[in-house]
Structure 1
Amino acid sequence: MRFGHRALAATAAVASAGLLLGGCAVGTGGQAGETDAEYDPDAELSGTLTVMGFSADVDEVASARVEMTEAELGDVELEVVEGDLDIQQFLSSVASGEPPSLLYADRDQIGSLAARGAIIPLEDCIDGEGIETGDFVESALAQVTLDDTIYGIPEFNSVQLTMANQQLLDDASLSIEDVNGSDPEAMTAAAEALVQRSGDNVTVIGVDSKLPEFLPLWVGAAGGSVMSEDGRTAQLDSEEAVQALEWAAGIYEAQGGFPAIKATRDSADFFGAGNQFATNTLGAMPMEQWYLNVLNEVSPDAPLAFDTVRTTDGEPTAYATGSAWAIPSGSDNPEAACRWARVMTSVDAWRAAADARLALREESGLPFTGILTGNTVADGEIQGMTTADEEPWASGVAAMYEANENTFALPANPADAEFEDAMFEAVNSVLTSGADPAEALAKAQETAQSALDDGWAELEGGG
């Protein structure tokens, strides 16, 4: 499975669709969150479980867990609304009183959905089904916890690794340390040394800093954060944020400008054998760990090098994102929804998924590079199952698990969509329109803070 931030259009949909429920945002303990469900891991369940935002047969990691979970559901009939989550469709279904039984969403969508009363608190579900919340990655659980109340059960964790073309680094007398973020000036110099151009076209990208989506990563690497830990204060105009954007955008300018880089990036055969590393058209970039598995499968002989992303102090870091299970307000089968969330994220289910992935990799003669589950106990077991003993894949797997132990995430808040819209609009204005980073972020700060203030006021005022 491949997980990352959804497109900006999706986050924009959260902001616009939120108007559908703006008048009934009730926060924690409000009427929209009330249910008479009785959760018991030994109870025999029935009825229908309608799941939105999830694809049951996308790969063996999903299908192995679904098979186990369906067995635990007994006589419950599963209906999956295939395809990516349409937030507006979901909010409309809640407003009309006909929501799905269960929701699969990005963790950075949970705060807004909870504040708008679209999903219910999960304390009773967690206690009743015996879900071990202490097993989850701390940053993942924090991202689905709004105002000290848990609204989602984390699943999967996405972290960034530094991925580089060793051949291009060698040709330029560079090393992975020059492009892992630990020395921003060295990384900019590496971009200039590695880039190749033909007229106005970039034929080889030296370094891709992966804006706009990774601005929080670079701010965190510089010792800052785009939002306060309590989710109440935007920090988009902080010194660390401004400097991070100036630097990360400046990497593109040093190579001919973002439009030229983006054109080359977009033309790549990203998931195929002709990807940028295999064709020697990319020096280095931060990228989510699941791409390690893709590269090993489609271009196992590519000249690769891996490391964690590093802070400016040289320490490993990663900006964690991922998915979560949530129970909609008005769910017609919350007991089955809770059972599904428990089993799908259990150590047993992840073990079955890893066994399935390992078997397929062995059939193909390829190493098993691991899975990041969001469950620390499962992660430990699966790490011990990995078979990537040869370089560069051994280094890649080691970096993946090291990054997973050094994560941070944006906290849950009642205006997560509006906040991300403001942040990414600022970054895109710098990249595409030449806006001044400090001025763009100051404008974004005002917009984001206003949205946070309004969201918290509505949440705490009861709507």
Structure 2
Amino acid sequence: MGTTRNRTRIALTAAGLSAAVALSGCAGVGGKGEEASGSGSSGGDGGNSFAGDPSGNLTIMGFGGEDEVAQARVDAFTKAHPSVKVSHPKGEFDAQQFLTALAAGNPPDLVYVDRAIIGTYAAQGAVVPLTDCVKARKVDTSAYREAAINSLTLDGKLYGIPEFYVVQVNLIDAKTLKSKGIDPSKIQTKDWPALKSTATSLYESNGSKIKRVGFDPKLPDSFPLWALINGAQIVKDGGAPNLNDPKAVEALDYAITLVEAQGGWTSFKAFRDSFDIFGDKNPLTTGTITAFPMENWYVNVLRDSIPAGLQLAAQPITDRQGNPVSTLGGSAWAIPKGAKNPTAACAWAAEMTATDTWMKAAEARIAKTKADKSFFTGLFTANKVADEKIRETYKEPAPKPGFEQAIQAFYDTLDTAKAMPASAAGAQIDAAWKAAVGRALGGQSAQAALDQAQKEAQAAFDKAKK
């Protein structure tokens, strides 16, 4: 849920990037460590090709721009740069399509891509450093959250401009808890035996058929979160994998016991996959999953389920000492090596993430909520200055206490969330741990699964660093 499609695309990236880069050497895509024109320019003229007034065609991959928040920012760019003709076909970033275009020497000018794989692209020379872009557009990187910037910085160079800031808290079906006489504070990650007891007390089945899951640990996607809860970071500073850290192994073991205690993986997965998390039949509204860790964007989705009877509650995710923790996700704007219009690409990345532009997006969201007779659930961006200004200007108490609790919990998590460090083998590391969690859910021991993943990921990292 939430990040599954991103993980699939990352796996495709890991499988295809090396081959694409090898094929594309003659098409202007360099190998590890190569910088365009020595400074992050992709124009090849020896100067800063990001400078000047943007014009001409700008092709973007991975950005649909379909909601009011996106459209308001697109409008801001086109108003500021009327000489640029923008093409951004609907659809998410397609790794295979990108790699094919890269190998053919005809990449898009700009990509909107998961921050977790930027390091891999950067190490292979598929995207260029943005040193000159930041300078040309006077981008104040100090306005962005440090964790987001760090996740895009490899060997001291910035390779992307971060956009949204995705964190997690535990979202809860308060109606089911109330019917069982259980306080929302019992949905917590500090005391693992107590959480398992709460989960199993809420779990219901009819023979082998699951009727309700008490707590969904959201495996496989949330393995990095469980490792973090237990004090382990699965990618070290510097980008080396740390997948079989004893605390990570312990965390995976525990999360799997939650699944096993609630029907076992085969039944659990089939039950969970049957839900549409975007409609009124989502599991929190229907009472079929009582709680799970979930990202901040989802509260805006759940708001539409209030008429269907949703009663929401939330609790922060903490480590085992009780300190708030969260993994950090989100996408970024990056410029491929060989982009034909780096000037417009740089201008777009800067404009779309600028404080004034985010304020226009917030205005559009507020107008939409008023038209819908609804309420504002916040905007969570990697631009900290914009976030604070939006919150101060537009955030009012939500009319439903549970929603206000959830929104506040997300805001409280922003400064403690941790991003995985950029890695030259980021895509391969991601694919390795995901495969390992799949094997462990299928019956292999967590230790053996993560030992194998560590071996594979370390080999990929060592190769990328040569």
Q: Sort the TM-score into its range (normalised by shorter chain).
A: over 0.9
How far apart, in 1, do the equivalents of 2:306 and 2:34 lie? 48
* Change over 3 Å in CA distance of 1:93–1:31 after alignment to 2: farther
Deviations 1:185-206 (A, max 9, x none): 1111111000000111111111
CA deviation after TM superposition for structure 1 residue 88, in Å: 2.1
CA deviation after TM superposition for structure 1 residue 3, in Å: 6.8
Match of 2:422 among 412, 416, 420: 412
The one-letter code sitting in structure 1 at the alignment partner of 2:250 is Q
- Find out whether 1:325 has 2:355 as its counterpart: no
Q: Say which is worse superposed, 168-177 or 112-121, in terms of deviation.
A: 168-177
* Change over 3 Å in CA distance of 1:87–1:31 after alignment to 2: farther
How far apart, in 1, do the equivalents of 2:345 and 2:437 lie? 38
Mapped contact 2:114–2:332 kept (Cα < 8 A): yes
Q: Say which is worse superposed, 74-83 or 237-246, in terms of deviation.
A: 74-83
Aligned residue number for residue 14 of structure 1: 13
CA deviation after TM superposition for structure 1 residue 275, in Å: 1.3
Aligned residue number for residue 291 of structure 1: 298
Mapped contact 1:191–1:207 kept (Cα < 8 A): yes
The one-letter code sitting in structure 1 at the alignment partner of 2:53 is E
TM-score if structure 2 supplies the norm length? 0.93
Q: Say which is worse superposed, 417-426 or 291-300, in terms of deviation.
A: 291-300
CA deviation after TM superposition for structure 1 residue 302, in Å: 1.2
Aligned residue number for residue 33 of structure 2: 27
* Change over 3 Å in CA distance of 1:437–1:3 after alignment to 2: closer
Identical columns (%): 37
Flag the structure with higher strand content: 1
The one-letter code sitting in structure 2 at the alignment partner of 1:382 is I
Alignment of structure 1 residues 342-421 onto 2, 5 Å: 342-384=350-392, 385-390=394-399, 391-421=401-431
CA deviation after TM superposition for structure 1 residue 44, in Å: 2.8
Mapped contact 2:160–2:334 kept (Cα < 8 A): yes
How far apart, in 2, do the equivalents of 1:405 and 1:175 lie? 27
Aligned residue number for residue 254 of structure 1: 261
Aligned residue number for residue 132 of structure 1: 140
How far apart, in 2, do the equivalents of 1:5 and 1:114 lie? 23
How far apart, in 2, do the equivalents of 1:179 and 1:89 lie? 42
How far apart, in 2, do the equivalents of 1:323 and 1:341 lie? 12
The one-letter code sitting in structure 1 at the alignment partner of 2:143 is D
Cα-Cα RMSD: 1.8
How far apart, in 2, do the equivalents of 1:124 and 1:193 lie? 57
* Change over 3 Å in CA distance of 1:161–1:352 after alignment to 2: same
SS in 2 for 1:273: coil
How far apart, in 1, do the equivalents of 2:385 and 2:5 lie? 27
- Find out whether 1:427 has 2:448 as its counterpart: no
Q: Say which is worse superposed, 161-170 or 351-360, in terms of deviation.
A: 161-170
Mapped contact 1:367–1:386 kept (Cα < 8 A): no
SS in 1 for 2:165: strand
CA deviation after TM superposition for structure 1 residue 92, in Å: 2.2
- Unmatched tracts of structure 2, length 5 or more: none
The one-letter code sitting in structure 2 at the alignment partner of 1:101 is D
Aligned residue number for residue 98 of structure 1: 106
Mapped contact 2:49–2:343 kept (Cα < 8 A): yes
CA deviation after TM superposition for structure 1 residue 289, in Å: 0.9
Aligned residue number for residue 461 of structure 1: none
SS in 1 for 2:211: strand
SS in 2 for 1:81: coil
Deviations 1:366-398 (A, max 9, x none): 110011111101111222212343301111111
Aligned residue number for residue 159 of structure 1: 167
Aligned residue number for residue 180 of structure 2: 172
CA deviation after TM superposition for structure 1 residue 410, in Å: 1.0
CA deviation after TM superposition for structure 1 residue 7, in Å: 4.2
Match of 1:227 among 220, 235, 244: 235
Aligned residue number for residue 453 of structure 2: 444
Aligned residue number for residue 460 of structure 1: none
Aligned residue number for residue 187 of structure 1: 195
CA deviation after TM superposition for structure 1 residue 90, in Å: 1.3
The one-letter code sitting in structure 2 at the alignment partner of 1:110 is I
How far apart, in 1, do the equivalents of 2:433 and 2:402 lie? 35
How far apart, in 2, do the equivalents of 1:239 and 1:176 lie? 30
Aligned residue number for residue 264 of structure 1: 271
Mapped contact 1:107–1:321 kept (Cα < 8 A): yes
Aligned residue number for residue 285 of structure 2: 278
CA deviation after TM superposition for structure 1 residue 38, in Å: 3.4
- Unmatched tracts of structure 1, length 5 or more: 458-463
How far apart, in 2, do the equivalents of 1:198 and 1:3 lie? 28
Mapped contact 2:377–2:398 kept (Cα < 8 A): no
Aligned residue number for residue 55 of structure 1: 64
How far apart, in 2, do the equivalents of 1:321 and 1:66 lie? 22
CA deviation after TM superposition for structure 1 residue 28, in Å: 5.0
* Change over 3 Å in CA distance of 1:127–1:251 after alignment to 2: same
CA deviation after TM superposition for structure 1 residue 21, in Å: 0.5
How far apart, in 1, do the equivalents of 2:6 and 2:297 lie? 18
Match of 2:247 among 240, 253, 272: 240
SS in 2 for 1:407: coil
Aligned residue number for residue 346 of structure 2: 338
How far apart, in 2, do the equivalents of 1:247 and 1:25 lie? 41
CA deviation after TM superposition for structure 1 residue 352, in Å: 0.8
SS in 2 for 1:310: coil
Mapped contact 2:381–2:387 kept (Cα < 8 A): yes
CA deviation after TM superposition for structure 1 residue 175, in Å: 2.5
- Find out whether 1:88 has 2:110 as its counterpart: no
CA deviation after TM superposition for structure 1 residue 8, in Å: 3.7
CA deviation after TM superposition for structure 1 residue 341, in Å: 0.4
Deviations 1:298-339 (A, max 9, x none): 235412211221111111111001000011111111111110
CA deviation after TM superposition for structure 1 residue 76, in Å: 1.1
Q: Say which is worse superposed, 386-395 or 118-127, in terms of deviation.
A: 386-395
How far apart, in 2, do the equivalents of 1:312 and 1:55 lie? 40
Q: Report the count of equivalent residues.
A: 452
How far apart, in 2, do the equivalents of 1:415 and 1:120 lie? 16
CA deviation after TM superposition for structure 1 residue 30, in Å: 6.2
